[in-house]
Amino acid sequence: MKNKFKLLLSIFLLGTTIGLTSCNNNNNNKVDPLDPNTRELIKLNDPNDLLPETPYTDACKLNADYEGKVFTADGIGLVHLASNTDGDTAKFYDYSSASETRFPLRFLGIDTPESTANIEPWGKKASVFVAKILTEAETNGDILLINDYDVFGRNETNGRFLGFVWYRLDKTSDFRLLNLEIVEQGYSKNLLFDKSKVCDYLDYFQKADTYAARMKLRVQGTKDPGYDYSNTVIKTTIKYLIDNYEELGVTENSSGKMVKIDACVIGIAGDSLYVRDVVPNENGELGYTYLFSGYGKSVASVVKPSDFISFYCKATKFLENIQLSDLKFDSYGKYAFTNYSRIAAQDVTDPSLTEADIKEINEAKEMIATFTPFVESDFNSLDDCKTLSDVAQFSDRLVTARLTIRTVNASSDDDQNEGTSSGDYYYKKDANKNMTIYSYLNDESSRLYINMRVDGNCYPYPGETLFEVGKTYIVKGYLKPYYEKYQVCLFNNNLEYNYITEVK
C-alpha cells in the first residue's frame, strides 16, 4: 500500500511539473506584435512610398509638462517654425518669447543624408519629408521641442541647439516624435545610444531601426530611384534651368541632376558665388543665381568678380526653389573647374608654355570674346523704388541701394534670422558670424525696411563697425527675397570693388 501511494504521488508530481512547464513555454512563446525581429515585413509597391503603419512612433507618447515653459531656457517648450533646412535641421523660435529670437536646431538621434553642400541618395527626400510635416504642423497644429541637457548637452560646438521634435498636425491629435518617425520611415539610421529619464525614447529608436534594417528601407539598403547614380551631365544655362527644371528632371522627387554651366562671376561671399549666364537667350534674357560651393574649398583664391568660369554642380529643387550646390572643384579630370579668364590672361610669349598651353589660351580668348562682359551697369539702382512691388522687379539681381542704418529692439525686430542682441541694436549676429544689419531704403517715410545680410564666411568680412546708426551708405550687393520682404546680400569686402561707400 505504501509503495502504491508513492507511485501515485510520483505520477501526480510529474503531471504537475509537465503542466507547469507547458504553461511557462506558452508564456515564453507569446508573440510581441511590435518585436522588430519577428514582425511581418510590409511590402511597398514603390521605394518612395511611406510605411502605411508606424507602430513605434504611434506607441511613443509625450509625457512631459510643457505649459509655460520656454525651450531655450527650460529644455522644453512650444515653438514656431522659422524655416526648414534639411532632414535633420530646422530653425525655430520660442512660442512665448517676446523677442522671437530664431535659433537653429539639430535633431537628436538621427543623421539624414546630405542635401545642401553635397547631395546624397535619399537626402532631398528626407528634407522634403521633414519640411512638409513641420510646415503643416506650424500651420494647423503645434511643434514642441524637448531635450535632456544633462544627458545630450545643450548645443553643438557650432552653436546649434540639440533636441527632439514633437509635432501634431491639428490641435486635437496626440503629439508624434519626428526624430523617431524619420528612423522608422528609413530616412536615417538610429544614432540614439544614451538612456534618459526625461527623454525615454531609446527602446523605440532601437526597435524602429531594427525593423527598418530588416526591410532594407531607404538608407538601410534600398537605392534612391530619384538619384542619378550615373551622374549624367546636362549642359544648360542658368536661365533655361530656372524656366525648364522639370523638363531636365529636377523635381522634389529627384535628388537633382548634374549640370555643366558656363557663367560670369558677379559676386563672391566666402567661397560661394553669385553667377549669371555668359550670353542672353533668344529673348535677350540672362539667368542669375547663387552657387553654394560647400565647405573646405578655396574657390575665392582662384576666382574674382567678372571672371568667366565653367563648372559642374548639382541642380536641385527644395520648397519650390531651384538650388545649385555640390560644386565640383577639381583642377583636372572629368569634372574639372575651369576659369577661362585666368587662362586667357596668360602671356602666350612665355617660353615655358607648351603648344598645348598656347592653344588653350587662344581658345579661352576666343570664347570670352563671345560672352557678355560684366560691367558696372549690371548693378540695378533702387533709387526710384517707393514700394516693395518696385523692389520686386530686381529680385535675384545685382543692385545698388541707398541704405540708412536704423535701430530695432526685441519687439520691433523684423528679421527672421537667428542671432541675439539686447536693448536697442542695429545689427544681430549669430555664433557663426552670420549677421543682419538693419536699414531702410532711400526715404525713412516710405518704411521700406531692406536689411543687409552678411554670410559668416565672408572674407574680408564686412563687419558691423563699418556702419553707424543714422548714417547712409551706397551698398552694392545681391537682392534676395526674404519672406514678405527683401534683403541685400553683401559680398567679400575687397576694397577695390567699393561695395560699401558712406554718403558724406
> 235-290: per-residue pLDDT in tens?
999 999 999 999 998 887 788 899 999 999 999 999 999 999 999 999 999 999 99
Least confident of 3-12, 35-44, 186-195, 337-346: 3-12
> 118-164: per-residue pLDDT in tens?
889 999 999 999 999 999 999 999 999 999 999 999 999 888 999 99
pLDDT given at position 28: 56
pLDDT given at position 319: 65
Q: Is 496 helix (H, G, I), strand (E, B) or coil?
A: helix
> 433-467: per-residue pLDDT in tens?
999 999 999 987 878 999 999 999 999 999 999 99
pLDDT given at position 100: 59
H or E element at residue 482 = strand 472-482
Q: Which residue has the higher pLDDT, 254 or 404?
A: 404
pLDDT given at position 97: 54
Q: Is 478 exposed, middle or buried (0-12, 13-18, 19+ CB in 10 A)?
A: buried
pLDDT given at position 116: 84
Nearest to 100 by CA among 108, 87, 91, 109: 91
Residue with cell string 555668359: 278
Ramachandran sector of residue 80 (left: φ over 0; alpha: ψ -120 to 50; beta: rest):
beta
Q: What is the mean pLDDT of the chain?
A: 91
pLDDT given at position 368: 97
Q: How confident is the model at residue 29 (pLDDT cuts 50, 70, 90)?
A: low
